[in-house]
């Protein structure tokens, strides 16, 4: 038969309380809510055929994606295509000559030159682009990002 003194029972109660508190503090934080996000980037009303997008939330990890040839994208934050953190985001879009599939295939190993931006420079900075999006926890529709500028000169 197990007998505990008052001091032993009190120590066990404190130990149990500390374990419960530690489990509560560490086990309940699953991180920010991330939801799937997809969309299309248009430049002068035409799909932007290559480049990338980045969605920067007010706090936390940004989400990014490469553009497909039809201008579409699916965002990734913590794992491939998991989406973006719920909340308000500032958005930037890049489209450099070096991101073109024709140029990427010709690069030598280790070459990292971006080259000139093919879209107005303001779009490459989330705080200057004028693009912002609110990601909802449910009911998100595909996002359309519409950019304008001089005619796009695609590399060959």
Structure confidence by residue, pLDDT tens digits, 62-109? 999 999 999 999 999 999 999 999 999 999 999 998 888 876 555 555
Task: Evaluate if residue 114 carries a pLDDT over 90.
Answer: no
Cβ atoms 51, 68 nearer than 8 A: no
**Mean pLDDT along residues 122-139:** 97
Structure confidence by residue, pLDDT tens digits, 34-54? 999 999 999 999 999 999 999
Q: Please give the sequence-ordered ranges of beta strands (E in DSSP) within 95-156, or none if there are none.
A: 132-135, 143-147
Q: How far apart are CA 134 and CA 88, in angstroms?
A: 4
Instruction: Provide the token pair at 72.
Output: 């579409």
Q: How many CB atoms lie within 10 A of CB 53?
A: 24
> Which of 150, 148, 145 lies closest to 72, judged by CA?
145
């Amino acid at each position: 038969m197990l007998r505990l003194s008052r001091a032993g029972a009190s120590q066990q109660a404190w130990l149990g309380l500390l374990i419960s508190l530690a489990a509560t503090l560490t086990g309940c934080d699953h991180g920010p809510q991330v939801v799937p996000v997809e969309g299309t980037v248009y430049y002068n009303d035409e799909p932007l055929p290559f480049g990338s997008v980045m969605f920067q939330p007010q706090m936390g990890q940004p989400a990014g994606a490469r553009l497909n040839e039809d201008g579409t994208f699916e965002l990734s934050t913590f794992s491939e295509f998991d989406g973006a953190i719920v909340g308000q985001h500032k958005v930037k879009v890049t489209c450099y000559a070096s991101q073109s599939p024709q140029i990427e295939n010709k690069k030598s190993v280790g070459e990292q030159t971006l080259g000139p931006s093919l879209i107005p420079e303001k779009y490459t900075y989330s705080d200057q682009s004028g693009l912002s999006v609110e990601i909802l926890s449910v009911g998100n529709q595909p996002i359309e990002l519409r950019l304008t500028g001089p005619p796009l000169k695609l590399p060959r």
